[in-house]
Amino acid sequence: MDAWRELYRLAARQHRCVTVWQTDEIGLARRTLENRARPEHWERPYRGVLVVPGAPRSYAQEVGAALLSTRPSGVAACEAAAYLHNLVTKPARPVPVAVRDGRHRRAQPGRRLLRPSGLLPLDVRAVDRLDVTSPVWTLCDLAYVLSDAGLAQAIATADRLRLATLS
């Protein structure tokens, strides 16, 4: 299979986003990538992350790009996770990303880095092929950012969707 076909397949699985290191892994030279990306105006939301043109923009794509920029430890958290779990109706910008390793990352526009303590693999779920905090962890995060009424509504929604129970 040629490298370009593999790149587009990978991008299709990742909300049209790829990283420079992924293109290295599939055998596509960076210069070759640059020669196509620049004239075709591929978006670069974060350092090392490219969005393949031609797909409609979506919040999942924004989150996917933010997570890829923190690979391998980024997890959508707080309001972003709540939106992806359908607990709130407004997407979070900048995208809150929980980073599970101790590596220092540069601040970049479009994402808000969180450094939770105690986030375990069992606290992470896949939603729309994106790593997000579990509904229960997400509700705990929301307690810090939502009003009491907003939190009560999110809890009721989680219960109705059977994402978390009150008992």
Question: Does pLDDT of 103 surpass 80?
Answer: no
Q: Is residue 59 part of a domain?
A: no
Q: Is residue 147 part of a domain?
A: yes
Same domain? 36 vs 105: no
Q: Give the list of residues 6+ apart from residue 165 with CB closer than 8 angstroms, or none.
A: 159
Same domain? 102 vs 22: no
> Quick one: average pLDDT of 115-123?
89
**pLDDT confidence of 102, banded at 50, 70, 90?**
low
Domain that holds residue 153: 72-160
In the block, tokens 């397949």 appear at 9
83 closest CA partner among 68, 73, 95, 100: 95
Question: Does pLDDT of 85 surpass 90?
Answer: yes
Provide, rounded to the nearest whole percent, the portion of the chain with pLDDT above 70.
96
Q: Is residue 66 part of a domain?
A: no
Question: Does pLDDT of 96 surpass 60?
Answer: yes
Q: What per-residue confidence (pLDDT) applies to 68?
A: 94
Question: Does pLDDT of 1 surpass 60?
Answer: no
Tens-place pLDDT, residues 10-35: 999 999 999 999 998 999 988 888 88
Q: What per-residue confidence (pLDDT) applies to 167?
A: 67
Q: Which residues of 31-59 are buried (b: 16+ CB within 10 A; e: fewer)?
A: eebeeebeeeebeebbeebbbbeeeeeeb
Same domain? 80 vs 137: yes
Same domain? 84 vs 152: yes
Q: Is residue 67 part of a domain?
A: no
139 closest CA partner among 116, 156, 160, 125: 156
Same domain? 84 vs 154: yes
**Omega prior to 72 cis, within 30 of 0:** yes
